[in-house]
Amino acid sequence: MVATIVTFACGAWARRWIADDGLIVLRTVRNLMAGNGPVFNAGERVETNTSAAWTYVIWFFGWITHARLEYVSLFTALALSLLAVLFAMLGAARLWGGATAQLLLPAGAIVYIAVPPARDFATSGLENCLVIFWLGVLWYLLIRWSQAERARLALLFGLVFWAGLCWVVRPEMTMLGGLALALVFLAPMPASRVGPIVLRACTVVVGGAVPLGYQIWRMGYYGLMVPNTAIAKEASGNKWGQGFKYVWDLTGPYYLWAPLLILAVVAVPLVRSRRAESALQQPEIVPAEADDAAAQSDASGAGSRNAVTRWLARILGLRHQLRTPRAVVVLILVGALLNIVFELKVGGDFMHGRQLLPALYMLMLPVSVLPVWRFGTVGQARAGLTSAAWALALPVLWLAMIGWALVAANTTGNKAGGGVSADGIVDERIFYVLNGGHDHPILAEDYLDYPRMRAMVQDIEDSPNGGVLLNSPSFTFWYIAPPPLPIPAGGYPHAVYFLNLGMTSMNVPLDVKVIDQEGLAYPLAAHTDRLADGRIGHDKDLYPDWVVADSGMVDQHPWMPWYMDERWVRQARTAIACPETQAMLASSRGPLTFDRFKHNLLQAYAFTKYRTDRVPKYEIERCHLVDPAPPPPPPALAPPK
Question: Phi-psi category of 76—alpha, beta or left, where left has phi over 0 and alpha has psi -120 to 50?
Answer: alpha
What's the burial of 390, exposed, middle or buried (CB within 10 Å: 0-12/13-18/19+)?
buried
Q: What is the DSSP letter of 41?
A: B
Average pLDDT over residues 562-589: 94
Which carries the bigger pLDDT value, residue 629 or residue 497? Answer: 497
* pLDDT per position as a tens digit, 204-257: 999 999 999 999 999 999 999 999 999 999 988 899 999 999 999 999 999 999
- What value does the mean pLDDT take over residues 344-360? 95
Listed range (219-223, 306-310, 401-405) with the worst mean pLDDT = 306-310
The arithmetic mean of pLDDT across residues 572-596, rounded, is 95
User: What are the tens digits of pLDDT across the range 64-76?
Assistant: 999 999 999 999 9
Over residues 3-50, the pLDDT tens digits come to 999 999 999 999 999 999 999 999 999 999 999 999 999 999 999 999
Residue 557 dihedral angles phi and psi, to the nearest 5° = -80, 150
C-alpha–C-alpha distance, residues 373 and 384, integer Å: 14
Per-residue pLDDT tens for 595-619? 999 999 999 999 999 999 999 999 9
pLDDT digits (tens, 9 = 90+) for 271-301: 766 665 555 444 444 444 444 444 444 444 4
What is the Cα–Cα distance from 347 to 177, expressed in whole angstroms?
A: 22
pLDDT at residue number 395: 85
User: CA nearest 487: which of 511, 466, 509, 463?
Assistant: 466
Cis peptide before 558 (omega within 30 of 0): yes
The pLDDT score that the predictor gives to residue 278 is 55
Residues 6+ apart with CB under 8 A from 618: none
pLDDT (0 to 100) of residue 116:
96
**Helix pair angle (196-222, 153-164), 10° resolution:** 30
Q: Is 510:30 a contact under the CB 8 Å cutoff?
A: yes
pLDDT tens-place string over residues 175-213: 999 999 999 999 988 877 778 888 899 999 999 999 999
CB 49 within 8 A of CB 25: yes
Residue 363 phi, psi dihedral angles, 5° rounding: -60, -30
Q: What is the mean pLDDT of residues 84-107?
A: 89
- Average the pLDDT over 254-268 and give the result: 87
Mean of all residue pLDDT scores within the chain:
88
Positive or negative, the CA dihedral 12, 15, 20, 26 is positive
Question: 265 pLDDT band (50/70/90 cuts)?
Answer: confident
- Does the structure show a pLDDT above 60 at 303? no
How does DSSP classify residue 239? Answer: -
pLDDT at 597: 97
State residue 44 phi and psi, 5-degree precision: -140, 115
pLDDT attached to residue 633: 73
Indicate the helix (H) or strand (E) that contains 512. Answer: none
- Of 511, 529, 509, nearest to 519 by C-alpha is 529
Residue pair 115/46 in contact (Cβ under 8 Å)? The answer is: no
Query: What pLDDT does residue 57 have?
Result: 97
Residue type, 123: T
pLDDT band at 310 (very low <50, low <70, confident <90, very high): low
Cβ(18)–Cβ(27) below 8 Å: no
